[in-house]
Structure 1
Amino acid sequence: MTSCDTLELSHIRYNINYKQISRICEKILPRIQHQIEKLTVEPHSIKPILSFNYPQLYSLSLVNFPEKIFLQYFTDDLFRHDLFAKKITHLNINILNKTPKEYWAVRTYFFTSILSLCKRLINLNFCYFSDQDLTVSIYNLPPPSFKSSTLTNLKINVDIIDDCLDLLDGRLNCLSTLIIKITQISSTISNTDNITKLPKLKYFSLISYNYTSYYDDLVCPLLHRMINLEELKLYLFVRRFDSIYIDGIQLYDQILIYMQRLNKFTFSIKTFVVNKNIRINLSSNENIQCSFIGKKYGQVGSYVHTWSMKTKGECHIYSIPYEFEYFHDLSISFSGGMFHKVRNLMMVDTYPFEHKLFKIISQDFPFLQYLYIYNDESEKYKEDSFPLITFPNLTLLHIQFAHVNYVEQFLLKKFTHLPNLLNLYIRYESLEKITNNFTNDVVHLNFDKLKDLHILELFVGSESFHKYFAFL
């Protein structure tokens, strides 16, 4: 008999011939159901697939569930199935974001209900995937609302740091791994404990894409509690006033000295400093590099940009090799390196980007898929003789808030080759200019595989516009 411990039905889409599902249930599952340990299913197949008994099953992944459909299954008591209460120890929930933001309350209900229903749950990934940031909000829930004495590993997105503090308040008393994204780290709303030590926590990953002014007051005290931590991962944007950049010395004094068992520290931290009331000489990139010497950090990358009046500046420090899929707020001060894991890059600056920087990025981010450019300043050096740049894996380009020079740079084939561009975000006026009011030959533009065109403002497309993009 053929051995099978994993069954994935997530590649089948809604337009499937349902006879195929029937065939799987009638011909295949009866032969292998006693061997299956892991299942991955989508909404259209969950009921027939879960009607079978799987004595070895411990891991279940529910993927591509619209929130309303997921709610319907809760209402239909599907999750009261013995499978969830008695067998599942590993659960992955992937919910599609096609409903209003108000559905955060429904997602919170899902999360708390799952903890209550799954009595043997050890590992839970609740909507923590690279292509979405669906959050839950639990900070205001009374203590009985959620708890688990079995859960050890949790991946989750939350709204504010109070949610994170509540997850660590003892209701998940066996938690050893917490991987969390926080939308906004701002002042706490509640009086949640941020002092009690967390001796069971061994792995902590914190990602927050928005700037916070509460790194020193909230993030550092939270990390001080993790006295037995073995691995730490931080992706943060910090705003400071009348202060200095976060460097190797500060990381050691404020964080690492409290974690004697730490084996691995992965980080990407960008500090934006504004000094109005005191005069401080902000560190140079050389100073920043020196601050990491002798502290057992391994190789560290950095770049610094200080404004001419020296009252404000920014500094980005990151461990090498770079371990994150995202690289946000890349500026003209970027010094290069290899970033094989980065799929999503955001470029932001008030100084112009030049062709040379785009060339460096195409080489240093070889697997880049999503590129966002925010810059209103025109390129200073522009020539038709620049060498061709290629982004072989780029599928999404966001240039709605970019100067038209960058639109030309990326959409004209004589400057840049984008063989797999599928999604384009752009201003209508920029589109008019590079197409000469939709009269230039489309063959000269990177539209060969374009599937989705997102235009910022409302507009009435001319007949020439519709003919030009008839392939969409």
Structure 2
Amino acid sequence: ECFFTCTYKNQISSLIIDINTNGEQSLTGNENTLLFTRIFTTFTNLRILNIGPSSICYQHLSFNLSPPTVISSTLLELHVCLSRFHDCLHLLDGRFDQLRIFHVKIAFIELSSLIFNNKGKLSNLRSFTLFCDNTTDGYYQLILPLLHRMSNLEELDLSLLVWTDNTFIDGNNLKFNIIHHMPLLKRFTFNIHSSTHFYNQDNLPSNEYIQETLKNFENKQIISSIDYFHENKYSQCHIYSYPYKLKNYYNITNYFARWNV
């Protein structure tokens, strides 16, 4: 081990670590974090790190016990899976100040009493992918403030299940809250399923209205579907860029729309 690390610690610039878990988390969050830390102390010239690309759903990093201690001024690209949203904030607190590409899957994005002061611009970040397949109520309080730190983004990919108060995430929302904050954005793909309670049954937005808000997007092929469950006063709206990239759909009904090829 010493021969390998001493010989290659400055030569290895790209590292992919894939763990065959058979659909289970083989390491605890703390063990994954220790591995993550050891990688940066061992390979001091690392530019690209991808942890568990084929088992990304099962290998979570967690900084619940203690904040990360790693710092790297060489890392340009990072692919990782995290337990919670505050783990993402830890990684974007300036410790990877040259990071340009960040792909992250977060298991839970939920409001927390934890306070983070890292609100500085992530001026070097050019590409950001965020995936979460658990419903979040933190779209406005957590996700948007993070995106507003990425004013120099050129590529953005969002896959989210969002719970909101009496509204849907539609094209107008994306334009006002995201696109207008990213003047350099060239590619924006998304898969957003938003749910809410409509207590006022008058003037409910239609799928035609949702489609109208999605006009003039760079990606011309955007699919939308909307459902109302009046007895439960519950509704859902699904908007996504075509082609659909995920392997499954969430809460499909008879009104589900797909692109006709």
- Quick check: TM above 0.5? yes
Distance in 2 of aligned mates of 1:282 and 1:312: 12
Give deviations 1:389-431, integer Å, cap 9, x for gaps: xxxxxxxxxxxxxxxxxxxxxxxxxxxxxxxxxxxxxxxxxxx
Q: Name the residue aligned to 1:87.
A: 11
Q: 2:54 aligns with which of 110, 113, 129?
A: 129
Structure 1 residue 336 and structure 2 residue 261: aligned? Answer: no
In the TM superposition, 1:162-177 aligns within 5 A as: 162-177=86-101
Q: Name the residue aligned to 2:179.
A: 256
Distance in 2 of aligned mates of 1:220 and 1:131: 24
**Residues 157 and 189 of structure 1: is their aligned pair in 2 closer, same or farther, counting only changes over 3 Å?**
farther
**Residues 194 and 244 of structure 1: is their aligned pair in 2 closer, same or farther, counting only changes over 3 Å?**
farther
Distance in 2 of aligned mates of 1:225 and 1:183: 22
Distance in 2 of aligned mates of 1:319 and 1:164: 25
Q: 1:214 aligns with which of 132, 138, 142?
A: 138
User: 1:194: how far off?
Assistant: 5.2
The answer to whether the 8 Å contact 2:154/2:185 transfers is: yes
Q: Name the residue aligned to 2:35.
A: 110
The answer to whether the 8 Å contact 1:266/1:323 transfers is: no
Q: Name the residue aligned to 2:122.
A: 198
Distance in 2 of aligned mates of 1:93 and 1:234: 24
Q: Name the residue aligned to 2:238.
A: 316
Task: Give the letter for the 1:267 counterpart.
Answer: F
User: 1:283: how far off?
Assistant: 1.4
Higher RCO (Cα < 8 Å, 6 or more apart): 2
User: 1:131: how far off?
Assistant: 6.7
**Residues 192 and 322 of structure 1: is their aligned pair in 2 closer, same or farther, counting only changes over 3 Å?**
same
The answer to whether the 8 Å contact 1:209/1:236 transfers is: yes
**Residues 252 and 95 of structure 1: is their aligned pair in 2 closer, same or farther, counting only changes over 3 Å?**
same
More helix by share: 1
User: 1:190: how far off?
Assistant: 2.7
Distance in 1 of aligned mates of 2:167 and 2:143: 17
The answer to whether the 8 Å contact 1:211/1:237 transfers is: yes
Look up the SS of the partner of 2:10 in the other structure: helix
Q: 2:205 aligns with which of 280, 283, 287?
A: 283
Q: 1:224 aligns with which of 123, 132, 148?
A: 148
Structure 1 residue 268 and structure 2 residue 191: aligned? Answer: yes
Structure with higher Rg: it is 1
**Residues 193 and 131 of structure 1: is their aligned pair in 2 closer, same or farther, counting only changes over 3 Å?**
closer
Distance in 1 of aligned mates of 2:178 and 2:160: 14
In the TM superposition, 1:428-443 aligns within 5 A as: none
User: 1:163: how far off?
Assistant: 0.7
The answer to whether the 8 Å contact 1:162/1:189 transfers is: no
Distance in 2 of aligned mates of 1:247 and 1:256: 12
User: 1:275: how far off?
Assistant: 3.3
Task: Give the letter for the 2:33 counterpart.
Answer: T
Give deviations 1:197-245, integer Å, cap 9, x for gaps: 111100000000000011111111111110000000000000123x211
Unaligned runs of 5+ in 1: 1-75, 339-363, 365-472
**Residues 135 and 280 of structure 1: is their aligned pair in 2 closer, same or farther, counting only changes over 3 Å?**
farther
User: 1:263: how far off?
Assistant: 0.2
**Residues 89 and 273 of structure 1: is their aligned pair in 2 closer, same or farther, counting only changes over 3 Å?**
same
Look up the SS of the partner of 2:238 in the other structure: strand
Distance in 1 of aligned mates of 2:25 and 2:231: 45
Distance in 1 of aligned mates of 2:99 and 2:176: 26
User: 1:104: how far off?
Assistant: 1.6
Distance in 2 of aligned mates of 1:110 and 1:102: 10
Distance in 2 of aligned mates of 1:268 and 1:118: 36
User: 1:77: how far off?
Assistant: 5.1
Task: Give the letter for the 1:176 counterpart.
Answer: R
Look up the SS of the partner of 1:107 in the other structure: helix
User: 1:112: how far off?
Assistant: 1.0
The answer to whether the 8 Å contact 1:194/1:221 transfers is: no
Distance in 2 of aligned mates of 1:140 and 1:260: 38
Unaligned runs of 5+ in 2: none
Distance in 2 of aligned mates of 1:133 and 1:280: 44
Task: Give the letter for the 1:119 counterpart.
Answer: T
* TM-score, normalised relative to structure 2: 0.91
The answer to whether the 8 Å contact 2:25/2:59 transfers is: no
User: 1:334: how far off?
Assistant: 1.1
Look up the SS of the partner of 1:244 in the other structure: coil
Distance in 2 of aligned mates of 1:250 and 1:80: 49
Distance in 2 of aligned mates of 1:336 and 1:130: 28
User: 1:299: how far off?
Assistant: 1.8
